[in-house]
A and B are shown apart, each in its own frame.
Chain A
Amino acid sequence: MANLFFSLPGELQEVTQIVFQVLGASSTMQRDSANVLGGTYSVLSVLGFKLKLEQNSYDYEDQYNYMLSINEDYLSGVETDEDMAEDISDIIVKVLRKNVSFEIAQEKADRLVIHSAKMDE
């Protein structure tokens, strides 16, 4: 599992459009859960992983108000592993850095790697 963090103004629906559109998702799904802040999250299933965008209640809440988590999609039936989750996370960071202008924080082995907006590639 891997986690990315952003700080963006706007409601979940708007942030979902910004983030998932960049990732090439034509349609996403909103779901509700008592175990997420605000009771609602957006989810996209791809390559055996579940990309879940939610209001951040995980950590670093003072700096980032949204979190995108990459977790194995238990319902997809696709076999994956932790390394693949990290790889997917790295790819998402690369794609986002090329296409958005906000800072992205990536949790790697319990430390936070900050990817500043629109850095040189």
Chain B
Amino acid sequence: MSIWPELKLDPFRRVSGHLVFFHGTGQTAKRYTFYNAALVYYDCRLEARGQHKQAALITTLHFSAATVEVQGQRVAAYSVIPWRTDPATSFRALTKPPDPLPWAGLGVVVRESLLKAEQLAGGLVKKVITPTGELGTELLGVSAEAVARAASLTAGILLTPANDVDAPGYAPEKDFNKNHPIPLPDRDQLRLSELELEHERRSLTPDEEAEMIALLAKVKGIHVQKFSDLVAKVPFGFPNSEEFVQAGEDLKAALKESSLAYKSIGVRGSSVTGLSSKGGSFRTKAQNGLNPSDVDVFIELSDDIDLTDSKSIPGFIHPDKIAKRYPALKQWSKKWTQKLGREISPGVFKPRTFTDKDVIFFK
């Protein structure tokens, strides 16, 4: 709904419309309908350092609705404001045309009024006659805009009434709902995004894999025969994707045995970026007296545990502390260190403290 042109024409105009909330899968979650909402607050603020370090102009509008309807439950505020509509027609606001046509003679009246306002602003006259009669005799302190607004108000009174569905002359082509269709999200795209996110975090079921293959073709035009054809990222330090997947499965089993609930697990650091913090690239084997690079695993918990975290790295629980408390995780580290021929240990992060972006998740 574009209310700006309407408010520009008439700041006292009331508007009606829908707010529709969707589930991620596309179904409507909640429908909020408001009737005869008046603009009661307007604020415009410049933030010199807004998002992305760019200045932002923030406009805040508060509307006060005479009636709201949520999931079929209607609540009406019986306002005493003088422009309240006739109760018989107030709930048909959505079927009314959004822009009643002005009276044909209005243009002349407004032009005359604006001319007098300009003269007033220029100090030419001290008495102003509006289309509704004499407004005052000493109006030099009133701006031209104020007088113009008075004219606009007068024009508003002269507007023709609604396209009421029960009224004679009802024009279906001007129906509010037809003219203001609610845009529906692309459900396939939404579902594909959801599956892609899940695919990043866990193994998909065979049904989900088949669905994702179909949606990839439909939405993105990517055609694969089987799911494994989708390129799987394998961190440095693992000989192949099978070993990486197996390490993830073993880690999941160790976490289950340890009764640790996690949000995500994966690999971070140089085995993802390929760059060593000591300079050079990830060492896949011993070079120049240096051991093969370590593989750093992370576990982002979903539930907190009673081990204290590091003060220097908030949320981080040192691998030694984890190995002491959870033998299954220590065993996992031993098994995979020996298998890969390089150190691999899990650093655990308390809920909502893991911020690394260069990661490869165990699926």
- The interface of chain A, by Cβ under 8 A from chain B, is 1, 3, 29-35, 37, 39-40, 43, 55-59, 61-62, 69, 71-72, 74-75
Q: How far is the CB of A88 from chain B (nearest CB, A)?
A: 15
How near does chain B come to A54, taking the closest CB pair, in angstroms? 9
A34 near B296 with CB under 8 A, answer yes
CB pair B278 A57 closer than 8 Å: no
Number of A-B contacts (CB under 8 A): 82
In the complex the two chains form, what is the Cα distance from A30 to B280 in whole Å?
14
Do residues B318 and A57 form an inter-chain contact, with CB atoms below 8 A? yes
Closest to A30 in B: B278
Is B179 an interface position by the 8 A CB rule?
A: no
B277 and A57 form a contact (CB under 8 A):
no
A31 close to B347 (CB less than 8 A) = no
Query: How many residues of B are in contact with the other chain, CB < 8 A?
Result: 37
Which one of A30, A33, A37, A58 contacts B320 once the chains associate, using CB atoms below 8 Å? Answer: A58
Most B CB atoms within 10 A — which of A34, A37, A71, A75? A34
Which of chain A's residues have a CB closer than 8 A to the CB of B320?
1, 3, 58, 69, 71
- Report the separation of the CA atoms of residues A74 and B319 in the bound assembly, to the nearest whole angstrom: 15
Given the complex of chains A and B, what is the CA–CA distance between A40 and B291 in angstroms?
13
Instruction: Given A29-B289, A62-B311, A75-B341, check contact A34 B316 (CB 8 Å).
Output: no
Interface centre among A43, A58, A72 (most CB of B within 10 A): A58
CA distance A39 to B308 in the complex (A): 21
**Residues from chain A with Cβ under 8 Å of B290 in the complex:** 29, 31
Q: Is B337 touching A33 in the complex (CB atoms < 8 A)?
A: no
B268, CB-defined interface residue at 8 Å: yes
B268 partner residues in chain A, CB cutoff 8 A: 34
A30 to B321, CA, bound (A): 22
Query: Is the Cβ of B321 less than 8 Å from the Cβ of A59?
Result: yes
- Closest approach, in angstroms, between the C-beta of B312 and any C-beta of chain A? 5
Q: Which one of A32, A39, A62 has the greatest number of beta carbons of chain B within 10 Å?
A: A32
Q: What mask results when residues 307 to 341 of chain B are scored 1 for a CB within 8 Å of chain A, else 0?
A: 01011110010111101100000000110011001
Binary flags per residue of B263-281, CB closer than 8 Å to A gives 1, else 0: 0000011100000111000
Given the known inter-chain contacts A57-B318, A72-B334, A75-B338, please indicate yes or no for A33 contacting B311, CB distance below 8 A.
no
Closest to B346 in A: A35
User: Does any Cβ of A come within 8 Å of B300's Cβ?
Assistant: no
Across the A-B interface, the 7 shortest Cβ-Cβ residue pairs: A34-B269, A35-B347, A39-B277, A57-B310, A34-B296, A74-B337, A58-B318
Q: Is the CB of A32 within 8 A of B294?
A: yes
Q: Which listed residue (A32, A35, A39, A62) contacts B319, Cβ 8 A?
A: A35
